[in-house]
Amino acid sequence: EGGALRVGPRSAGAEPGPACYGRGGTEPTVTDACLVLGWLDPEFRLADAVQLDRVAAERALTTLAGGGGGDPRAAAAAIVEVATAVMARALKRVSVARGIDPRGMALLPFGGAGPLFGCALADALGMSRVIVPPHPGVLSALGLAAAPERVDVIASLHRALGEMHDGDLHRAFEPLLAAAAGALPHAALTRFADCRFAGQGYEVTVPVTREDPAALGAAFRAAHRARHGHADPEGPVQLVNLRVVAERPAHMVVESAASRTKTVRPRAIVARGGDSTRAEVWALGQIAAGTHVRGPAVLAGPDATALVEHGWHGVVHGTGAVILERT
């Protein structure tokens, strides 16, 4: 009402969906903006089923661009900027706000449209590497199929580590190990402990590799320092919970990268910020391993689309994933 542009959190969903879906939606969405900017191509059906309507997207965006005389591309550029800021804020809540520095990590965007914003979000968080999987739109389903079977067994054990003796940890873990082995036979068993400094309201989970309370205390302090930046060398440590994780790997054949690259003709796009440019177009999931990709480029796949922005370059891994780094 005050004139500010707001993106989300309400979603248009699939029905009626964005205006460009042609299912009755009239409100402009991020998908409409990406289509108008050229990041999505109406010649390629989304998920092999949805034919995108660029004219409908432009008509919806014109309502934000000052009526019939407005520039829908300017509105689209503003939408993706706001959407990027909203997503960056969410990423900071689960990283910086928890004491985790994302700058030394890689960003892995997934979902049908997630990789369109990978480079922009990495820039916003100071990250220098983005990994685009070969099938981002179905990554969760692939993960479920490839994930190992897992059973967690947990038991409370409120004890001060300084009061525990040799053999206490071994005896405490015995029933948990038996329960985990019985629940998932022929599985690998891993032991963990939830520890905290006396008086803290939160715990840090650390692996238990030795049945020595002093070694466990040292491992907790190291993990606490890595997570929170400090660890009292003299503070008493409390054991809160014991955990045993049983994992049995799933048998799944990993698809290798294509032996040769399927090329698509270049097209004009509007880069983040509003400048028009020419982008190479690659068939995501059908790029030969070792191929170098330089931005600006669009990686168009059957289940997702990725945008490689100017200043970024990538190489295709043997799995088909594209590993992007800032130039």
Encoded tokens for 140: 């969760």
pLDDT at position 98 is: 83
pLDDT at position 153 is: 97
**What is the rounded distance in angstroms from the CA atom of residue 314 to the CA atom of residue 293?**
5
pLDDT at position 154 is: 97
pLDDT at position 65 is: 62
Q: Which residue has the tokens 């070969």?
A: 134
pLDDT at position 286 is: 87
Buried b (16+ CB within 10 A) or exposed e, 37-46: bbbbbeebeb
pLDDT at position 187 is: 96
pLDDT at position 45 is: 78
pLDDT at position 16 is: 87
Please, are residues 172 and 242 in contact by the beta-carbon 8 Å criterion? yes
pLDDT at position 256 is: 61
Q: How many residues does the chain have?
A: 327
Residues 6+ apart with CB under 8 A from 299: 115, 132, 282, 283, 284, 287, 293, 305, 306, 307, 308, 322
The pTM assigned to this predicted structure is 0.74
Please, are residues 322 and 284 in contact by the beta-carbon 8 Å criterion? yes
HSE on the CB side for 76, CA within 13 Å?
Answer: 27
Write out residues in the chain with pLDDT < 70, as ranges: 1, 65-69, 252-264
